Structure 1
Amino acid sequence: MSSTLMHCPAPAKLNLFLHVTGRRADGYHLLQTAFQLIDRSDMLDFESRTDGKIVRSNDIPDVPAASDLIVRAAQLLQQATGCPSGVNLTLHKILPMGGGLGGGSSDAATTLMALNHLWRTGLSRQQLMELGLQLGADVPFFIFGENAFAEGVGEKLQSIQTPECWFVVIEPGVHIPTPAIFSAKELTRDTKPVRIADFSSNAEMHWKNDLQTVACALFPEVENAVRWLSQFGNAKMTGSGSCVFCAFPDEASASRVIMQIPDRWTAWKAKSLIRHPMTELLQKENLVC
């Protein structure tokens, strides 16, 4: 088996809707959401080491190696399995931090999936998801590897089918700390729960994000982006922000909107995915082992 895994994708997610349905005694919020994978990704390289050390080989602005989720994910897998191997980790960061795209969680999930393969630790997907939950509520979804209806704090997942489409995503240029949104007194915490059967491909993009009102009040540039993009469809914020997105039936439609976006914002288009691209990559790796 190879001692390296290169160009491993850590794709972004969009929340097609996000409802806050309650709050647990420990302070965690109960959510319902639909996660959609898209084809814009961070990329990671892994090189196994024999000395047991876990080393991030490149600098990431404002993210010390010791607190980086990819380092913590590698350490967690190492400790959980007693694996004597180490790894050199290289993260090529493309997704914005504080954008609601799940970049850090996706990086951690790809790290767990890649090292489970590289180190031959042999954990099942369910075991990796349970480990991932210790790192963050969105990590299990990325390991789950399919578009999903999620409940609980985001860890109870059921596979769903979503329409093939293209998305325009605007980065409004603000970094939103998730705690600032969830701690706001104005946050709606009692949205009536829905059933997965209520969620249809015809209706999904018309559901709301309960966090959006709070984010727009605290960060006016998010509201500006939502208002601007709404002229082309049902635009909404993803996650706890700050990125704003809108769905389009084809790439040409998305491209036309991209051409009109004000220069003050970074914007890009991405295609919907059916499954996590790491699944195919690891299947190819297994064929050559």
Structure 2
Amino acid sequence: MSIQTSPFTTRAYAKLNLALAVGAPVDAPGSPHHGYHPICSYMHAIDLFDELRIERLGMGEQSRFDLAWADAGGQVRPIEWPIEQDLVYRAHGALEACAGRSLPCAITLAKHIPAGGGLGGGSSDAASVLMGLDRVFGLGLGREALLAIAMTLGSDIGYFIDETDPPRPAIVSGFGERIERAGSSHAGTEVTLVLPPVGCATGAVYRAFDSGLPGTVDVAGVRRLVDSPVLEDDLLFNDLASSAVEVQPLVGELIETLGEALGHRVHVTGSGSTLFVLGRVDEDQIHEVAPDCRVVCTRLI
């Protein structure tokens, strides 16, 4: 694989879970999957993205990381957590460990995808770093090797490891490692995101889920949605939605309030807290009943 001499730039897209089925945690002490939940999800990229730039540095130079929030007006502010905890930094370190050598580079990330909302921003950033470093340093690792590295970092990252840009929609199953790309008739569908002023901690949502009676993974339900020529509210589902509401009651209040005001079903993506409605909804209409929420009108891509 040839080395890319010019800086690598890309968009790291967000995703929606249009369907998310979750099973009971694996009870197999000694297994690497012990305590993890099998899933089956229909994931689809949306036209909301972070912007990533990777520039190769000379051997012996120290890698640099400039990660910041960027708003529509061009204002930037630093991320609120240590760089070492960010998936961009961890992905860089994981690829260095795989390559067995230093990969000195300057990584710049302008973040637009909200954190902690179930949109996969951090996972998408990590996947873009893995693919970008593979190209910049001419490692020639390929998709399968990158997917294996991705699975050591997070279960959603593998979805974003794709040879096309943006990543194609897919049925993601197992523990996130089985990815079946789907030809989408749903690309172009408009969706309206409603971003509450609170997040849902993924661990807390899964603990709430476990306190109920988790059933089997509804693979058939996910496939019905994928095979449907048109997205219909009644086909969308999320097994974690009620658990997200338990963790953050405001999410439940917003689902009820927005549903009544808009006359649309309101859905949860991932483990929350981001809500979405199929179709384009006027931002002012949403702010009348949910003034503290951010609204993003976008589309499936």
- TM-score between the two structures when normalised by the length of structure 2: 0.82
Matched, 1:57 2:79: no
Query: Partners in 2 of 1:113 and 1:4 — Cα distance?
Result: 13
CA deviation string 1:186-233 (max 9, x = no partner): 445214532364332246642321111111122122113322443343
Query: Partners in 1 of 2:36 and 2:67 — Cα distance?
Result: 33
> Pick from 218, 235, 241: which aligns with 1:193?
218
Residues 67, 79 of structure 2: 8 Å contact kept: no
Partner of 1:281: none
> Pick from 132, 136, 148: which aligns with 1:118?
136
1:39 Cα offset (Å): 0.9
Partner of 1:167: 191
Query: Partners in 1 of 2:231 and 2:212 — Cα distance?
Result: 24
Residues 170, 225 of structure 1: 8 Å contact kept: no
Partner of 1:260: 285
Where 1:53 maps in the other structure, the secondary structure is coil
Number of matched residues? 266
CA deviation string 1:63-107 (max 9, x = no partner): 211111101111111221234431111111111111000111011
Identity of counterpart residues, as a percentage?
A: 30
CA deviation string 1:141-165 (max 9, x = no partner): 0113311111112221111224130
Matched, 1:158 2:180: yes
Structure 1 alignment gaps of length 5 or more? 249-253, 274-289
Partner of 1:224: 253
Query: Partners in 1 of 2:14 and 2:21 — Cα distance?
Result: 20
Question: Residue type of the partner of 2:203?
Answer: P
Matched, 1:138 2:156: yes
Matched, 1:245 2:273: no
Matched, 1:39 2:52: no
Partner of 2:74: none
Question: Residue type of the partner of 2:243?
Answer: V
Where 1:183 maps in the other structure, the secondary structure is helix
Partner of 1:77: 95
Partner of 1:277: none
Query: Partners in 2 of 1:265 and 1:112 — Cα distance?
Result: 33
Matched, 1:147 2:169: yes
Question: Residue type of the partner of 2:124?
Answer: S
Query: Partners in 1 of 2:185 and 2:154 — Cα distance?
Result: 24
Question: Residue type of the partner of 1:96?
Answer: P
Residues 69, 135 of structure 1: 8 Å contact kept: yes
